A and B are shown apart, each in its own frame.
Chain A
Amino acid sequence: MMYVPERPPVEYKGLSLAIVRLATKWGPAGISLLLRFAWGVFFAAIVVLVTFVWAVRRFINPLLPWFIRDVVVVVGLLAFVCIVAIIGIWGERKVSGRIQSRLGPMRTGAWHGWAQSLADGLKFVQKEDLIPRDADQPLFRLAPYVALVPAFCAYLTIPFSLGWVFRESDVGLLFVLAMLAIEVLGVIMAGWASNSKWSLYGAMRAACQLVSYEIPMGLSLLAVVLSVGSLNLIELGRAQEGGWFSWLIFRNPFLFLAFFTYYIASLASCKRSPFDLPEGESELVAGFHTEYSGFRFVMFFFAEYVAMFAVSALATILFLGGWNSPVAGLCSPLWFVLKSAFLVWVQMWFRWTLPRIRIDQVMHACVKYLLPLSLLLFVGSSLWQLYDNRAHPAFEGFAGLLHYVLGGVGLLLLGLFFAGAGYGYYNRNRLVGSMVRKHLPGA
């Protein structure tokens, strides 16, 4: 008497049948062999690639190496982006666990569940591809790509260090902002095409929120651009080569505040808590991506972490010195990645601490507070630029003094952060309470 849907039996034909047969026959042995010689395969691939590039340069069309270089860099960027997403997801779960007084993933992979994201990815890939019958088929299928691809494209002009950029562009900053803005279309498409009122609510909220917060985001960044005089991200990084004191965040008080307005606006632009209303889990089930499952959902999920790292990368380059180390002279992509990762970690910290803001309060905050403030910062910073030069020695002295003050404030904030962390770590047994301590392993 119960309604039991009949599943059509799956039949492989032709090439798919051959692949399945091959995989089931040689698959298990093949995968274990590959894992055994994984490092060997990796190095062999690098050697082969380098040899290939040299051979092509030497013997074939002189332009081809550049093309190959482009392809290699794009593949490397893709790999980096995927690793960012994978480590981001794993990191989010560990960070959320630790904040919630639990451990996070511990089993998949021998060390702290590092392979959890890979396991999740494999799980999602083999799920049933479910598309609601009344959904708008082309838009539904297209939406995840429109969300993910621009987020990846933003990395094309982001320099990881001097010379470590796919294409150095004189309007690099504008390109990144434009790419991040296209993501909004993907979100709205997903909400509309799902043919579900709950998804539609998510899409409408996303539309208001993401588009509105682009403005304070852009204005805060423009304040920096006016200080340096270029939209070129390499130039912006080069302007901060003198150690931590030369970082643009300390240059004038308006830029100091612009960092915070940019950071908050970027939180809203990435749909991160406390601005995660479009995917408000408790209210709208899952918001705009309710009807997405399997790999399509993975694409939205990836897009979120990719965009998070992209906006943190922008903040790093424009405010925190980019690839330059705090000590003058050294520059390395490692510093860039570390600083961006720190900002991503702060985003996760906010998510697991703060409740969600209601949509009218979100718009209220943007239009009434963040927008006038960022306009003020923009005007203030440009006026500061006007007077902070040798033609106005008195003001230049004052500006220099304020530069030191801001540096001091920055050091103070850093000190407070480490003091708090140290206090928490030092008293980690006492703060948690007697009963929790008794139940910890090893107690």
Chain B
Amino acid sequence: MKEIEFQYQSDLHQEGEIPSDIRTEELTLNMGPQHPSTHGVLRVVLQTDGELVLQATPYVGYLHRCAEKIAEKVTYRQFTPYTDRLDYLAGMNNNLGFALAVEKLGGIEVPARAEYLRVIFAELNRIASHLVATGCYGLDMGAFTPFVYCFREREYVLDLFEAVCGARLTYSYITIGGVREDLPDGWIGRCREFLDYLGPKIAEYNNLLSYNHIFINRTGNVGVCPPDLALAYGLTGSCLRGSGVKWDLRKATPYCRYNEFDFDIPVGRGEKGTVGDCWDRYFVRIQEIGQSVRIIRQALDKLTEGPTQAKVPRAVKLPAGEIYYEVENPRGQLGFYLVSEGGTSPYRLKIRGPSFCNLSVLPVVARNCLLADVTALLGSLDIVMGEVDR
């Protein structure tokens, strides 16, 4: 059999040199692409001195699927399923971002019912995504039970999604001009039932995990990211709000009728340690689940009758121009920089993945922490490699 030879060149020597006076029996540890707690195919090379991590270097690109190059070849409608697969845990939000970018550039007006439905599904997907983040974070910390509870709740959300569009993970439901299908009968009742059911469950997660003394010891004062560092490294979403910066695109530059809803922006206050530690970022997500429940209830009340799709031609042709449009994803701000030359495909589509920027802060924050803290950090940054690598 023929073995493929791959010359691997370690380029660690290109990194910043470690001063020689602390070179005592270091171990280069490879938290490889396959690891239970790297949340996907992420490789982190750690230089450790015992349990102390001196340097952490992330290597990404294992999930690079050339989405931006593909966008130049397919039409706008054909690209919607590709957006599902960027941050595969928040498909609805990705679809929403791309659809809004295309609609703004093309001047397409979306009917009111479609906009309210978009809000409902985006927020439901935010709940599902934060449940995964919470459960997996508990799992990384060694608490196996919250993982199962969170996924049980997420099953109900996925059942709601499956009822309306037939898919559980990659929906392609929010398309250019509106949403693909209208709600089936009884869906609103089921959704309200789920929202009533979820409220006490959040209190349960707080009792089981958030206020658990061991969990607070593992995550409080760990991986502290001060607000100026967070802004400097382009952190957005829960990571930025966990560092104390009250910045949410749904309030700052409202899109899709978010200005009609009444909700709060939870911000990290350093309750269990310092502002910007892992516990703050984690707890912001828990609180955001509650806020999403509020938004969905208001949206269900405001839901009007009407068409769910605007009259958009089958072959979507956009006028020449460009736009950079961002939406607030569960993981941060997802941006689409769309350059159109007047054809049926984009001339250039650049996707700004929030996890890509969130991950760039890892080498800075992981310095001089313990090996077990790297796991806590990665879990609190809540990255999805589909977004990092596109």
Q: Decide yes or no whether A15 CB sits under 8 A from chain B.
A: no
Assess whether B51 is in contact with A355, with CB atoms less than 8 Å apart: no
CB–CB A283/B201 < 8 A: no
B218 contacts chain A at the CB level, 8 A cutoff: yes
CA distance A186 to B23 in the complex (A): 31
**In the complex the two chains form, is A356's CB within 8 Å of B156's CB?**
no
Known A101-B149, A282-B140; contact A354-B371, beta-carbon cutoff 8 A: no
Tell me whether B370 and A354 are in contact (CB under 8 A).
no
**In whole Å, how far is A56's beta carbon from the nearest beta carbon of chain B?**
52
Instruction: Report the bound CA distance from A360 to B221 in whole Å.
Output: 14
Would you call B152 and A358 a contact (CB within 8 A)?
Answer: no
Nearest B residue (CB) for A353: B145
Whether A100 lies near B1 (C-beta < 8 A) is no
CB proximity of A315 to chain B, nearest CB, Å: 22
Neighbouring B residues of A101 by C-beta, 8 Å: 148-149, 152
Which residue of chain B is the closest to A4 with respect to CB atoms?
B1
- Complex-state Cα separation, A353 to B217, whole angstroms: 16
Query: Are A434 and B193 also in contact (CB < 8 A) when A100-B148, A101-B148, A282-B36 are?
Result: yes
Mask, A279-305, CB within 8 Å of B = 1, is 011110100000000000000000000
Instruction: A282 to B140: give the CA distance in the assembly, Å.
Output: 5
Q: Given A3-B1, A360-B370, do A436 and B143 touch, yes or no (CB 8 Å)?
A: no
B370 cross-chain contacts in A, Cβ below 8 A: 358-360
CA distance A274 to B143 in the complex (A): 9
Q: Which residue of A lies closest to B151 (CB)?
A: A100
Tell me the bound Cα distance from A285 to B4 in angstroms.
27
Taking CB atoms, residues of chain A closer than 8 Å to B197 are: 433-435
Residue B35, interface by CB 8 Å: yes
A358 pairs with B3, CB closer than 8 A: no
**Per-residue 0/1 for B1-37: is the Cβ within 8 Å of any A Cβ (1 yes, 0 no)?**
1111000000000000000000000010110000111
The answer, yes or no, to whether B141 is at the interface (CB within 8 Å) is yes
CB distance from A140 to the nearest CB of B (A): 20
Taken residue by residue from 349 to 390, chain B's Cβ proximity to chain A (1 for < 8 Å, 0 otherwise) reads as: 000000000000000000000111101000000000000000
Which one, A100, A283, A361, contacts B371 given CB within 8 A? A283
Q: Provide the residues of chain B in CB contact with A282, threshold 8 Å.
A: 36-37, 139-142, 375
> Among the interface residues B4, B143, B144, B152, which one has the most CB atoms of the partner chain A within 10 A?
B144
Give per-residue flags for B211-245: 1 if the beta carbon is below 8 A from chain A beta carbons, else 0: 01011011000000000000000000000000000
The smallest C-beta distance from B279 to any residue of chain A, in angstroms, reads 12
Q: B152, A355: Cβ atoms under 8 Å?
A: no
Let me know if B27 and A356 touch, CB within 8 A: no
B196 contacts A by Cβ under 8 Å: yes
Q: Indicate if the CB atoms of A277 and B372 lie closer than 8 Å.
A: yes
A357 touches B4 (CB 8 A): no
A435, B156: Cβ atoms under 8 Å? yes
Are B193 and A435 in contact (CB-based, < 8 A)? yes
Q: CB distance B2 to A285 under 8 Å? A: no
Interface contact B51-A5, CB-CB below 8 Å: no
Q: Is the CB of B145 within 8 A of A274?
A: no
**Of the candidates A1, A276, A358, which one forms a contact with B217 in the assembled complex, judged by CB atoms under 8 Å apart?**
A358
| A273 contacts chain B at the CB level, 8 A cutoff | yes
Q: Does A102 contact B (CB under 8 A)?
A: yes
Interface residues of B in 319-364 (CB under 8 A from A): none
Query: Which of A102, A361, A433, A434 has the most CB atoms of chain B within a 10 A radius of its CB?
Result: A433
Q: Which residue of B lies closest to A437 (CB)?
A: B197
Judge if A99 is at the interface, Cβ distance under 8 Å: yes
B132 interface residue, CB < 8 Å from A?
Answer: no
CB distance from B213 to the nearest CB of A (A): 9
Q: Which of A355, A359, A435 contacts B138 (CB 8 A)?
A: A355
Contact with B along A196-240 (1 / 0, CB 8 A): 011001000000000000000000000000000000000000000
Whether B200 is near chain A, meaning CB under 8 Å from some CB there, is yes
- Contact partners of B258 in chain A: CB under 8 A: none
Q: Determine whether B62 belongs to the interface, using a CB cutoff of 8 Å to chain A.
A: no
Determine whether A175 belongs to the interface, using a CB cutoff of 8 Å to chain B.
Answer: no
User: Quick check: is B205 within 8 A (CB to CB) of the other chain?
Assistant: no
Q: Is the CB of B141 within 8 A of A436?
A: no
Nearest residue (CB) in B for A96 is B144
CB pair B1–A357 under 8 Å, yes or no, is: no
Confirm or deny: A6 has a beta carbon within 8 angstroms of a beta carbon on chain B: yes
Q: Is B261 an interface residue (CB 8 A)?
A: no
A283 to B370, CA, bound (A): 12
A166 CB–B CB distance under 8 Å: no
* Residue contact B51 to A361, C-beta cutoff 8 Å: no
Cross-chain contact of B212 among A197, A352, A355, A361 (Cβ < 8 A): A355
Q: How far is the CA of A276 from the CA of B144 in the complex (A)?
A: 13
Q: Does B194 contact A (CB under 8 A)?
A: yes
| Contact code string B38-59 (vs A, CB < 8 Å = 1, else 0) | 0000000000000100000000
Q: Are B371 and A357 in contact (CB under 8 A)?
A: no
In the complex, whether B318 has a CB less than 8 A from a CB of chain A is no
A112-B143 Cα distance, complex, nearest whole Å? 25
B127 at the interface (CB under 8 A from A): no
B209 interface residue per 8 A CB criterion = yes
B139 — which chain A residues lie within 8 A by C-beta?
282
A285–B30 Cα distance when bound, in Å, is 12
Contacts A100-B148, A353-B145, A355-B214 given; indicate if A197 touches B29 (C-beta within 8 A): yes
CB distance from B390 to the nearest CB of A (A): 27
B144 CB → nearest A CB, Å: 6
> How near does chain B come to A197, taking the closest CB pair, in angstroms?
5
Q: Which residues of chain A are near B375, meaning CB under 8 Å?
A: 282-283
**Contacts A197-B27, A282-B139, A435-B197: A357 and B217 contacting too (C-beta < 8 A)?**
yes
A99 to B215, CA, bound (A): 19
Whether B142 pairs with A273 at a CB distance below 8 angstroms is: yes
Closest CB in chain B relative to A124 CB, distance in Å? 21
Q: Which of B164-221 contact A (CB under 8 A)?
A: 193-194, 196-197, 200-201, 208-209, 212, 214-215, 217-218
Chain A positions within 8 Å of B138 at CB level: 355
Neighbouring B residues of A6 by C-beta, 8 Å: 1
Contacts of B143 in A (CB 8 A): 353-356
Contact B201 A433 (CB under 8 A): yes
Indicate if the CB atoms of A359 and B4 lie closer than 8 Å: no
Whether A280 contacts B142 by the Cβ 8 Å rule is yes
Q: Which residue of A lies closest to B199 (CB)?
A: A433
10 contacts between A and B (CB under 8 A): A99-B145, A197-B27, A282-B141, A285-B35, A354-B142, A354-B212, A355-B212, A358-B218, A359-B51, A360-B51
Known A198-B29, A355-B215, A436-B152; 17 more pairs at CB < 8 Å: A1-B2, A6-B1, A96-B144, A100-B145, A101-B149, A197-B27, A273-B142, A276-B142, A282-B375, A283-B37, A283-B372, A285-B36, A354-B212, A355-B138, A355-B218, A356-B143, A361-B217
Across the A-B interface, the 5 shortest Cβ-Cβ residue pairs? A356-B142, A100-B148, A355-B143, A355-B141, A358-B372
